Amino acid sequence: MSESLGNIVDAKIKYRDDLQKIVTQLNGEIDYAEKQKRSAERERIYPLAELLHDVFCRYDHGDQCGWGYEGNNWDAAEHVRWVDIAERLLEGIKRIQYDKPTESDIIGALKFAIDNKQKMALLDTIKTFAK
Ligand SMILES: [Zn+2]
């Protein structure tokens, strides 16, 4: 093999290695951005999760439900559980509506219903979606 062909091979190997470093870095950046995106989507649901917990949690907050002990930690078990319930409720409501209500529309409607003493009907609805 001539020296110039050897140089071409070396150059291509270096080029390939540089590209692999860029791909590795991009994959890391994409993973990070996807996590940020998922986290932002979940954060939008926090007010609804808090409302649902405040209204519907039946457990004793001294020794059965950890919501209060968890503080504002949305990665803790009770907070995750109520965010999941809120997510399912939103998905269920969006499926049955033609006008694709926003989270704040739904929170407003739920607050209205709660204020108007329709709590038990809402509880039955949530039980259906939370299965
Ligand atoms: Zn609770």
State which residues form the domain around 24: 1-43
User: Ligand 1 mean position to 43 CA, how many Å?
Assistant: 19
**Cα 17 to Cα 13: distance, rounded to the nearest angstrom:** 6
Kindly give the distance from the C-alpha atom of residue 11 to the centroid of ligand 1, in angstroms, as a whole number: 63
* Ligand 1 mean position, distance from CA 42 (Å): 19
Identify whether residues 13 and 51 lie together within a single domain. no
CA of 89 to the centre of ligand 1 (A): 18
Average pLDDT of the chain? 85
In the predicted structure, residue 110 carries a pLDDT above the cut 90? no
Q: Within this chain, do residues 18 and 39 fall inside the same structural domain, yes or no?
A: yes
- Per-residue pLDDT tens over the stretch 19-63: 999 999 999 999 999 999 988 888 988 988 998 898 889 899 988
When computed from its CA atoms, the radius of gyration of the chain, rounded to whole angstroms, is 25
Residue 71 shares a structural domain with residue 88: yes
Cα angle, residue 11 at apex, residues 5 and 15 outer, rounded to 5°: 145
Q: Do 65 and 124 belong to one domain?
A: yes
Q: Would you state the pLDDT for residue 1?
A: 59
Please identify, among 10, 26, 43, the residue that sits at the C-terminal boundary of a domain: 43
- Split into its structural domains, the chain has a count of 2
Q: Are residues 93 and 104 in the same domain?
A: yes
Whether residues 71 and 58 fall in one domain: yes
CA of 51 to the centre of ligand 1 (A): 11
Q: Tell me, in angstroms, the distance from the centre of ligand 1 to residue 96's CA.
A: 28
